[in-house]
Amino acid sequence: MASKVIHAIYTDDDVLMQAVKDARKAHYHIGEIYTPFPVHGLDKAMGLAPTRLAITSFIYGIIGLAVSIVMMNYIMIEDWPQDIGGKPSFSYIQNMPAFVPVMFELTVFFAAHLMVITFYMRSKLWPFKKAENPDVRTTDDHFLMEIDVENHSVEELSKFLQNTGAIEVNLIDKQE
């Protein structure tokens, strides 16, 4: 399915930020913004919902902690108890201070690795995926705002974007 979008190119992040605010105020739907570096406050200006990645990270850490507790209890207490340094291995609670570093490391390990996987899945960054960058200049020094044309006049939208400081405005047939 093809849809028409307008690509507006900017050379300054402050001008882009004001253009995003103006476009939202004029009720235009901003599809995506491509920048060469993170622009502080752009997500809030676009009206994006806050991320829930911190919640998933906490859940992944709890899973790692639970796995470490179960693993150490099974390995060191039930399956193969050993007398190490004169410390008997009869109960998990008595030996827990020695297990704290392992519990910490597995908590961090699970949180970090599962967060990377979650981030890639959420961002739809699959192995061998073709790049979606519509203009190579956005990897160097330009900013691109993609606005869906929908029911708006192309000429009116182009004029609006040029008034916000866009140096270039192009109508594109976007393939989905």
Amino acid 130: pLDDT: 85
CATH code at 2-50+135-175: 3.30.70.260
Three state DSSP letters for the chain: CEEEEEEEEECCHHHHHHHHHHHHHCCCCEEEEECCCCCCCHHHHHCCCCCCHHHHHHHHHHHHHHHHHHHHHHHHHHHCCCCECCECCCCHHHHHHHHHHHHHHHHHHHHHHHHHHHHHHHCCCCCCCCCCCCCHHHHCCCEEEEEECCCCCHHHHHHHHHHCCCCEEEEEEEEC
Binning pLDDT at 50, 70 and 90, where does residue 67 land? very high
User: Can you say whether residue 47 is alpha, beta or left, with left for phi > 0 and alpha for psi between -120 and 50 degrees?
Assistant: left
Give the pLDDT of residue 96: 84
Q: What's the mean pLDDT when you consider all of the chain?
A: 89
pLDDT band at 1 (very low <50, low <70, confident <90, very high): very low
* pLDDT tens for each residue of 2-61: 588 999 999 999 999 999 999 999 999 998 999 999 999 999 999 988 888 889 999 999
> Looking at residue 7, what is its pLDDT?
93
